Amino acid sequence: MKKIKLLVLILFFSFNMASAQDTLYIYRAGIVVTKRAVSEIDSISFYKRQSAPVPESVTDIDGYVYHTVKIGTQIWLVEDLKTTKYSNGDLIGTSSPIGKDLTYEDSPKYQWAYDGNNSNALKYGRLYTWYAATDSRKIAPKGWHVASDNEWKTLQNYLIANGYNYDGTKTNNKTAKSLSSTSLWNTCLIEGAIGSDLTKNNSSGFTAVPAGYRGVEGAFYILNWVSDHWTSTEDSSDFARMYALGYTSPDLGYYSRNKKYGISVRCVKDTLSLPVLVTTPVSNITEVSASSGGHITSDGGSAITARGVCFSTSAQPTILNRKTTENNDSVQFISQIRGLSGDSTYCLRAYATNHIGTAYGNQISF
């Protein structure tokens, strides 16, 4: 006997009187799509096809909407950033003229559409200097951040280990096709390269597009050839890490680029953790007072709800000891410490509290 599993919208049992045999007819939209003699059927199972989950969408301060994809343990934006504003509403300026030479500018913070054409920005995203991409006002939508070098490495290692190389192997780096969109790229005949048979691209859903880049001297280069992305990781005072895909290459490469280049930015979703901060050196010490503070280098992906310094005559003071509380929301803050005893040695640490808990900076004795 055959067991038939069918998706049924309308089910009719009909009797075929001419042959004196019971027959099961299956209709869809009023049309018979199949029929079976009842004697051939052992059982019938009904099921409803489940729709695929709708991916999360994210809207930036400019109103641009981005889609998301989960790759391993990470959640990435599917599109490169298009925003012209920092998260606090401040404008990210563009150079005037569009082709201005930035060689002698100090830490320029600019964004551009490729060739100054806004239709390119809608298709490819915008190009940013590293200084704009990593400004403390934040370029990413809330709850997201510019991916670090380590986060790109995590992405690459996951793809290799899970068979996303173009040839299905799980060693070496041949992941470029799995990361790249199925359109816009130049074509080539090199086996495993992004430009070789675009229909085989983007198995990861990352959807990198070949947005080109802007040079320091002001020219725009190789649209539809390369997809370059800044990381938040700097290599030196003038250079930062970036990851690159090229249409003739099968691998995801990483390089060090001048921070004044205009390059695409891709964001990854925050994972909540404790804040990270550094204690400011103690100054203005008198017999009864002193000044210190802190610099919050990461909010841990959650808003800071309290900040200040805690101090005690014992080592490793916490907020259960004496403390100051600052009301400003800056990543850098100064605290005035009062009520000290002139013949005592104090230990002090900056603290910051978010949704996860309280973190402390390095200890200073004075």
| CA distance linking residue 111 with residue 116, whole number of Å | 10
Question: Which residues have CB under 8 Å from 265's CB, separation 6+?
Answer: 80, 81, 125, 126, 128, 133, 139, 140, 146, 229, 230
- Residue 30 has a pLDDT of 62
Give SS3 for 116. Answer: helix
pLDDT at 253 over 90: yes
pLDDT tens, residue by residue, 288-320: 999 999 999 988 877 899 999 999 999 999 999
pLDDT digits (tens, 9 = 90+) for 206-219: 999 999 999 999 99
User: What integer is the mean pLDDT of 81-90?
Assistant: 97
For 134-182, what is each residue's pLDDT tens digit? 999 999 998 899 999 999 999 999 999 999 999 999 999 999 999 999 9
Q: What is residue 141's three-state secondary structure? A: coil
Taking residues 323-341, what's their average pLDDT?
A: 93
pLDDT at 93 exceeding the cut of 90: yes
Task: Quickly tell me which residue has 């239709």 as its tokens.
Answer: 119
Task: Report domain extents, the chain.
Answer: 2-46, 57-269, 276-365
Let me know: does 337 contact 292? Beta carbons within 8 Å: yes
Q: Name which residue leads in pLDDT, 38 or 81.
A: 81
For the chain, what's the residue count?
A: 366
Total-model pTM: 0.65
Of the listed ranges 53-57, 60-64, 273-277, 359-363, the one predicted with least confidence: 53-57
Q: Measured between alpha carbons, how far is 260 from 264 in angstroms, rounded to an integer?
A: 12
Q: What is the dihedral of CA 122, 123, 124, 130, to 10 degrees?
A: 0
Q: Residue 78: its pLDDT value, please?
A: 97
Superfamily of domain 276-365, CATH level 4: Immunoglobulins (2.60.40.10)
